[in-house]
Chains A and B, each alone.
Chain A
């Protein structure tokens, strides 16, 4: 009996493997297609990865990567032990989460409204106008922000004081900084963010909408039951990807907005790395590399975790 079962199992495995190989053989064209892109990524992205070891060395440009002294985790410890490590991490994470919570849903909502706008001319104009600010350089955007939010001369404060309230020092308050940073970012980028959702919305089968309408569903029901599930995979994937960029927040924009009064909440990892580069009279590639590697590892853990949750909760996942 036992040997019969074993023989059956072996036969099953053999069959499964044969089916597997058949599947692969049948789809040989797909493999051929994927070959070139895979080759590209190996050459241009994987080969240079040996350079990540800079983080474990004390890099001196003249000595090259291999010639630089090995220091193990010293660069990482330098970061973890640095005086404002806690402050920098906290600022980065809280600013990032704030930006995610506030900024992620808005392009989706906006995309839905644009998508359902009955007047085509207006719809296209709004799309065009909201898409444009994304391209304004960060220097000019910060200049505009300063101009609008200034005390005394900024129109926002002029309006506030005309209404009888006290002027708000938007730019010189560490409490206000996260709000100003996040909301001006939303203001600038929400239009560009709608693009992918508009594309996803246009992929939803209109016949579903027609039959829903025939059943008497009103628009909100239709959006909720047809569109949202239709774009759900896109939304989820983008959300997963976003978590991978949590530590990458800000650099030039934060740097331009920093001053003595708000530095408390305005120092993030990337500005910290920049300043160390300025301060150090020899370019600390190793230190920057170590911090970069640390960011990568944390991001990786976050993405894997969120991906796993997503796979369990919905069917969508990255891999």
Chain B
């Protein structure tokens, strides 16, 4: 996506700025890329090398064991499938509902906007807690259904706020006024002016909502029971065994000799699994980002509308 270069030349200071820009971004890049390389390398390395802490930058004795262990687990595909469904359906519902309330809230002539804004913001700070929420979900008959994953967090107040802020800042009142002069109804304004101009913010909240769905773990834990409905994060957690001391005590006490043998076999794998699991779990989310990126181009929307 080429940035429309203005015909006016940059000053000398501008050029210096760009050099500093490159250097700074380069440093940030190097600083941040290290953990990523480390994780990828570890996930492909030999288990023993990982245990011995020998992996620093490049994989040592590359193997696919870490990934094999993950994908041998049949439920991983089920988990993927469920998560994709929850993410797509959930995000769609999220965006629709968010726009439905953020647009009116962004209109200065919308009487009651402050009251509604307060209504929403209050819930960010106060909530009833786990038990009443669980009881509500249960009473609505949503326990152990697919709908609950879509409905329980259908609106993220944070995202409503940033959408409203964006709309307020980017859509000038003159646009609304001239539309009204042209006799357009509020709905028509929504579809022909607001939405086209909201490219960047819709991209952002899509990303935020989608990521939230993708990483969702705790709600699935408490609201779902059937194995077929489990999302990816829950399935992945079953593969990775926590080595917490309490687990050790419990397992030492209850497992028999051969079970303990098996457990130590898995010890090898655990070292790799934490890394390969991250890759498996987050690669799809990383892949969404380029699609979102193209909306962060300066002024691409406003220009189009004005013309």
Instruction: State yes or no: do A and B touch (Cβ within 8 Å).
Output: yes
Chain A residues packing against B (C-beta within 8 Å): 20, 23-24, 27, 29-31, 33-34, 36-38, 40-41, 43-52, 54, 65, 110, 113-120, 122-133, 135-137, 139-141, 143-144, 147, 153, 155, 187-188, 190-191, 195-196, 198-207, 209-210, 213-214, 216, 218-220, 230-231, 233-234, 237-238, 241, 244, 285, 289, 292-293, 296, 299-300, 303, 316, 318-319
SS class, residues of chain B in contact with chain A: helix
- Distance between A49 CB and nearest chain B CB, rounded to angstroms: 4
Does the CB pair B6–A37 fall under 8 Å? no
Give me the interface of B with A, judged by CB distance under 8 Å: 1-4, 6, 8, 10-11, 13-14, 17-18, 21-22, 24-25, 28-29, 31-33, 35-36, 38-39, 53, 56, 97-98, 100-101, 103-105, 107, 109-129, 131-133, 135-136, 151-152, 154-155, 157-158, 160-162, 165-166, 168-170, 185-187, 190, 200-201, 203-204, 207-208, 211, 215, 274-275, 278, 281-282, 285-286, 289-290, 292-293, 295-303
- A198–B297 Cα gap in the complex (Å)? 8
Q: Contact between B53 and A147 (Cβ–Cβ < 8 Å)?
A: yes
Closest to B12 in A: A218
CB distance from B211 to the nearest CB of A (A): 8
Contacts of B301 in A (CB 8 A): 202-203
Question: Are A36 and B100 interface neighbours, CB within 8 A?
Answer: yes
Instruction: List 8 additional contacts besides A136-B39, A203-B299; criterion CB under 8 Å.
Output: A27-B110, A30-B186, A36-B97, A38-B101, A40-B154, A144-B38, A155-B56, A209-B6
**Does B132 contact A135, Cβ atoms closer than 8 Å?**
no
Task: Report chain B residues within 8 Å CB of A126.
Answer: 25, 28-29
A-B contact pairs, 18 of them (CB 8 A): A36-B100, A38-B116, A48-B135, A49-B132, A117-B18, A122-B25, A135-B211, A137-B274, A144-B35, A147-B53, A196-B162, A203-B200, A204-B299, A213-B6, A216-B11, A238-B162, A318-B121, A319-B118
Q: In the complex, A54→B129 CA distance in Å?
A: 9
Q: Does B166 lie within 8 Å of A199, measured CB to CB?
A: yes
Alpha-carbon separation in the docked complex, A116 to B151 (Å): 39
With A127-B293, A300-B126 as contacts: A114 and B25 at CB distance below 8 Å:
yes
Chain B residues with CB below 8 A from A52, complex form: 126-129
In the complex the two chains form, is B302's CB within 8 Å of A205's CB?
A: yes
Taking a contact as CB atoms under 8 Å apart, the answer to whether A120 and B131 are in contact is no
